[in-house]
Structure 1
Amino acid sequence: MVTMILENLSDKKFTVLIVNLILCQIVCFLIGGLATSFPASTQIVLSTVCLDDRTDFECRNCWLTPECRRIVDLHEPDSIEGLNANNFVFVIKMPPYGMNFSRWQQSLVGVLQIDMVYKTGALLHKVFDLVIHSKLAYRNKKDPNHKWTHYATAKEKRLMKCTYDNKCKIGEHYYNCTTLPLFELDSLHYDQYLLNIRLPVEDENKNQYVKYISNIYLRMVYMNEDFIKILFSLKAVFFPITVGIMIWFWKRIYMLSRPPVLLEYMLIIVSGTMAFLNMPIEFLTLRYHMPYISLLNDIRWGLFYTALLSFWLVFANEHMIIQRNPEGNTLTIYWPYVSGTFVGCMALLTVDFCEHVVQVYNPFLSIWTTPTDTYVAITFISLAGILIGVYFIGLYYMIWKVFENYNTKRDFMPCASFVHRLYYKGVIHRFNSLLFLTVICVSITLASLILSQLRKDPIMKLKIPSSFVIGAYAMWNIYIWTLLMVCAPSQKIICTYQQPLLKQSCFSTCSTQVNFCTQTEFPEPAESLSIQPHESHMLLAHMLCVMYYVAKGKPFRFGRENNSKVAKGDMKTG
């Protein structure tokens, strides 16, 4: 009978394997923490208020730079005499101070922070709409200073909420207003960007509270170059390793006379999605403008999470339930569990995918601008949160039951010979260690899912350490490598076929060999048992086995076909 490597691996080799993988995990954790503190950086830039005499703001070749005719104070009567909000353009150059972006920084998110001043005798409504007419242009450092190329234009509505402390009404004070997400660039291909913003007031019902605006700031959020270099380098290293171990694992499966079981299929699927995620296609963004790279990343992450969470369900269920025919199980048996996992992952993927689809067309667009779109997006996220929460609670419960099932196997150990007792104790110990690693991986995955959703909100100032992001990514790879290596079929044959001396031991005759990859309980004792008069200690082992089953109150009888080989008077058929 063919077993998996975990069953035949010695404790020493298993310890060496685990220690090496833990050292690899620690190295990745330290690299992520020492190279850079956080994956992203934030920089706040004050806009320059320029005077614009042109009425056609949508002109694609007309751009205002910070070297324009400035208006120092919007609330100084002499500066704005005879002007209205249509003559004011807020100009922001990114990055400031003559610096340049790097293509390694990958993405750029712009969030507006508007200062609204309190004027005596007038109060703002708490919630109001603000119409923003924005234009975005780009240039490379080799281009002339005056050359700016149009990138995108949009007139979007943002919902703004401002509050004011009624206890402080002496002089002018600023309102406490929410920030407004403005744009998101998923491919930072050019060196410099120029943003022109106008708050139109052609309609009396539009932008009624523009007169309260004092300053407009842009909070830029972009990826750190050092973090991206480390992440891409790890992908370039992990990708061939994952593919190589997958090929090695499948070759061992292919050499068997039986078809692959469900757990082996699931291992191939989850390792395949991990390899797809490791594929370093982001290196192409260093050469080509690929604003759709975020869509591909959403698909890759969605497939990986779906495969990994589905694998854990099958992995836990296969070891928690007594399997009558473990090699005949199919994924359809687990459809109630897998379907819920699939719906939850697809709900999260749908929100991110729709957001990035519209931003490929125009970076100023967003699914969060209208109440209807916001309600639908929140519904999908809430549904995904509920399903994922139920999933992890159920998964922790199933893993706990698996621990209990394997600990109860120790009750069968007195029936085994000393050699077999050591063998099965080692198998149970190694499998419990694998379950412990699974619990750690599940916990970090849950934390990563929650933090990744919170990090996507540009309004929340949430900073996740680089060591956690790099460490979690390395942990998924190392965990999948471990599963592929220890769950692969072993080339060794079990002892009942290779060792004649132990062939008739109590444990090998009272129960068939246990496959810990698909079965969680020792099989029932055989209906008949034959005794060979080879060694006296073997006869003693059989007698101990009989005494054990009699004490348990279980039926036990020896086969009649071999009674002639037993010395007369020694034992009779039970």
Structure 2
Amino acid sequence: MAGVVLENLSWKKLIVLGVFLLILMITFFLVGGIVSPKPSNVVTVLATRCYDRGSRLNRTKWFIPRGPHKCEELPSLDPEDEIIINNSITEKQVVFSFWIPGPRDGAERKMSPLFQSMLGVLQLDVEKNLKVPLSKNPVLQLDVRMGVRDEDDKDDDWKLLASSVEDRNLQCKLDKNKKEGYLYDCELLQLFELGSISHHFYLVNIRLPVNFLKGYNVGIGKVVDMYIHVIHQNGGFTIVWVTMKSVMFLLVLSILIWFWRRIMQLGRPPNLLERTLFALGVVMSILNCPIELLQFGLNVPFMLLLNDIRQGAFYAMLMSFWVIFAGEHIMDQTERNRLSLYWKHLSAIIFGSICLFVFDMCERGIQLKNPFFSIWVTSAGTKLALAFIILAGIAAGCYFLFLCYMIFCVMKNISAKKASLPSMSQLRRKFYLGIIYRFRFLMLATLVCAAFTVIFFIISQLNEGEWRWGDHELSMEYTSAFFTGVYGMWNVYVCGLLSLYAPSHKTVVEIDSADGSTEENVQLTQLPTTPSETSALQALTSKAAQD
């Protein structure tokens, strides 16, 4: 019986492998905590109030907030201001203009493909004014256009990227004892999301045209200023992230090829556990593949959606593997090695994955055509999105509890099988006890990996919707150490499983004997084997179950 590397590897080599994987995982945490900057960065851009002198709306003209072609700026939007009264300026002639990114220390900054993606969050400063009252839950309609320009283009050569008329529900509150002139506390509004940054400069023009018949921009109060909070991935973090993915892609792919070659050398077809582990390695390699490098030379607007699909597929495969891995080692019955035995567990995972995919397509799928679209703009959409995030967190927690129960059953069954060990000879008992201790440690590592994965999933979901719940501080980031550490843990876990559960090249289990007897070797090789078995532990428990 060949068994697997986990069982036949000497303690010395096993400790060396374990120490290497542990150092590798600690390195991931240290890289994120010491070398890498924070994952995301927030840049706030204040709008310039531009005056459109035309009697008709000119939707093809760009209003630029600075530079040689700077627009005519309005000092204020007070209806009693002389400029507004003398020129009979209407709300349609006021354009809020944003140049992204803003200048720093008098120098012009530019966007970079290293930022990967860009999320724009709109904040309105609404002043309390009795002449321009704020109604309850008014509808804010944004006539918005986005233009792009590169560093080598002319100053006024802005190209249209997207335009749309979007509705947002404006929700503001203010203490009753506050007098005129105070600003309302208004919730943040998602404005746009771009999955790729392929230009140096972005220009956003926003109008607030009033429509009394439909109630758009009626009762929104006195809007005095606008801000756009631009959230993007930190460039330094991107370099660290892509480097890590490139290294782990080559490492995992190499181990995966070695693992499958070992499987193909066997005189039997691969069993369910081996096929599932191979599939996990394939999905891990797909997640590791540094396709983000394409953004440095190409415009890939679907990158956010593609990354969500890759990570969702990894979650689904990892959870499926854990269920099958634990189920194949419970072995209360002799019938195993059939995927149909896990149809209930896998159906629930597949259903949840489909729900995740549909939800993501409703948000980022539509944003490929209209970056200003958001499922959060309506009350029903907000409730649905919040319900999804809450249910996803609850489902992840329930899955972890179920996995803990399955692992408990595995440990309980193995402990029960240990009752047959005292009847064996000393060397045989020592051999199986070593296997059981190794397997228990591996199950504990699985439990720790599952716990960190669930925590990471819940935190990522909370950060995804945090600013949408009214958090004006925009604390979007979680620590780089946790981000890179969990990612490194996944890779270390998969590498460890591929290495330890690869078929051993040894055809006879070797046990050192002080008296030089080979009786134990003969007995161990006579253990019953079935095409589904890959380890001596499975052979022992399977034999006990059959008896």
The two structures have a TM-score, normalised by structure 2, of 0.89
From 473, 486, 498, the counterpart of 2:500: 486
- Aligned residue for 1:291? 301
- 1:91 partner SS: strand
CA distance in 2, matches of 1:440, 1:42: 33
The C-alpha deviation readout for 1:394-452, integer Å capped at 9, x for no partner, is: 01111122233333443333222222222122111111111111111101110111122
Q: Aligned pair in 2 of structure 1 residues 123, 376: CA closer, same or farther (>3 Å)?
A: same
Deviations along 1:26-57, whole A, 9 cap, x unmatched? Answer: 11111112233421001111111111123554
| 2:81 is the alignment partner of 1:77 | yes
Return the alpha-carbon distance in structure 2 between the equivalents of residues 517 and 349 of structure 1: 39
How far apart, CA to CA, are the structure 1 residues paired with 2:38 and 2:221? Answer: 38
Mapping of residues 48-67 of structure 1, within 5 Å: 48-54=48-54, 57=57, 59-66=59-66, 67=70
Residue 495 and residue 141 in structure 1: after superposition, are their counterparts in 2 closer, same or farther (change >3 A)?
closer
Contact 1:37–1:467, Cα closer than 8 Å, also in 2: no
Alignment correspondent of 1:19: 19
CA distance in structure 2 between the aligned counterparts of 1:52 and 1:343, rounded to whole angstroms: 52
Q: Aligned pairs, how many?
A: 524
Cα distance in structure 2, aligned partners of 1:493 and 1:228? 47
Which residue pairs with 1:148 in the alignment? 158
- 1:104 Cα deviation (Å)? 0.8
Bigger RCO of structures 1 and 2 (CA < 8 A, at least 6 apart) = 2
| Cα distance in 1 between the residues matched to 2:404 and 2:97 | 53
Aligned position for 1:469: 483
The alignment partner of 1:523 has SS state of helix
| In structure 1, C-alpha distance between the alignment counterparts of 2:340 and 2:463, rounded to whole Å | 35
Q: Read off the aligned partner of 1:367 and give its amino acid letter.
A: I
- Once the two structures are overlaid, the 10-residue window that deviates more, 177-186 or 289-298, is 289-298
Partner of 1:7: 7
Pairing of 1:24-35 with structure 2 (within 5 A): 24-35=24-35
Secondary structure, aligned partner of 2:141: strand
1:193-231 CA distance string (max 9 Å, x none):
111111111435221134411211111101100111111
Name the aligned partner's letter for residue 101 of structure 2: P
Distance 1:77 1:17, change over 3 A: same
Cα distance in 1 between the residues matched to 2:329 and 2:3:
15
Q: CA deviation at 1:322?
A: 2.1
CA-CA distance at 1:294 after TM superposition: 1.9
Q: Which runs of 5+ in 1 are unaligned?
A: 528-574
Q: Aligned in 2, Cα 1:526/1:144: closer, same or farther, shift over 3 Å?
A: closer
Q: Is the 8 A contact 2:428 2:520 kept in 1?
A: no
SS in 2 for 1:469: helix
> Is the Cα contact below 8 Å between 1:510 and 1:526 reproduced in 2?
no
Cα distance in 2, alignment partners of residues 304 and 7 from structure 1: 28
CA–CA distance in 2 between the matches of 1:510 and 1:274? 37
SS at match of 1:45: strand
* 1:41-190 equivalent positions in 2, closer than 5 A: 41-54=41-54, 57=57, 59-66=59-66, 67-75=70-78, 77-81=81-85, 82-97=88-103, 98-120=108-130, 124-166=134-176, 168-190=177-199
In structure 2, do the counterparts of structure 1 residues 110 and 524 end up closer, same or farther at CA, with 3 Å as the change threshold? closer
* Pairing partner for 2:373 from 365, 369, 375: 365
Q: 1:269 to 1:55 in 2, by over 3 A?
A: farther
CA contact (8 A) 1:61 1:150 kept: no
Q: CA deviation at 1:62?
A: 3.4
Q: What is the deviation of 1:244?
A: 1.2
Letter of the structure 1 residue corresponding to residue 326 of structure 2: A
Which of 263, 267, 271 aligns to 1:257? It is 267
Quick one: which of 332, 343, 356 aligns to 1:348? 356
> Does the 8 A contact of 2:143 with 2:206 survive in 1?
yes
Report the alpha carbon displacement of residue 173 of structure 1 after superposing the two structures with TM.
1.1
Structure showing greater Rg = 1
RMSD over aligned Cα atoms:
2.7
> Could you say which residue in structure 1 is the equivalent of 2:203?
194
Partner of 1:399: 407
Displacement of 1:63: 3.3
User: Distance in 2 between the 1:114 and 1:525 partners?
Assistant: 69
* Secondary structure at 1:214 match in 2: strand
Task: Quote the residue 1:546 is aligned against.
Answer: none
Is 1:412 matched up with 2:420? yes
Q: Which range moves more in the overlay, 55-64 or 461-470?
A: 55-64
Contact persistence 2:32–2:484 (CA under 8 A): yes
Taking the aligned partners of 1:517 and 1:281, their CA distance within structure 2 comes to 40
1:487 maps to amino acid: Y
Describe the shift of the 1:348–1:469 C-alpha distance in structure 2 as closer, same or farther (beyond 3 A). Answer: same
Of the structure 1 ranges 297-306 and 108-117, higher mean CA displacement relative to structure 2 is found in 297-306
Tell whether the 8 Å contact from 2:37 to 2:236 is kept in structure 1 after alignment.
no
Q: SS at the partner of 1:456?
A: helix
- 2:450 maps to 442
Q: Does the Cα contact within 8 Å between 1:132 and 1:197 map onto a contact in 2?
A: yes
Distance 1:38 1:281 in 2: 21
Compared with structure 1, are the counterparts of its residues 62 and 511 closer, same or farther at alpha carbon in structure 2 (3 Å cutoff)? closer
**Range moving further from structure 2, 446-455 or 178-187:** 446-455
2: CA distance, partners of 1:526 / 1:202: 79
CA distance in structure 1 between the partners assigned to 2:228 and 2:323 by the alignment:
45
* 1:300 counterpart residue number: 310
Distance 1:87 1:60 in 2: 14
- Seen in structure 2, the aligned counterparts of structure 1 residues 368 and 57 have a Cα distance that, compared at 3 Å, is farther
Runs of 5+ in structure 2 lacking a partner?
none
Structure 1 distance, partners of 2:380, 2:244, is 41
The alpha-carbon deviation at position 120 of structure 1 amounts to 4.4
Give the Cα separation in 2 of the matches to 1:305 and 1:437: 17
Q: Give the deviation of 1:488 after TM superposition.
A: 0.7
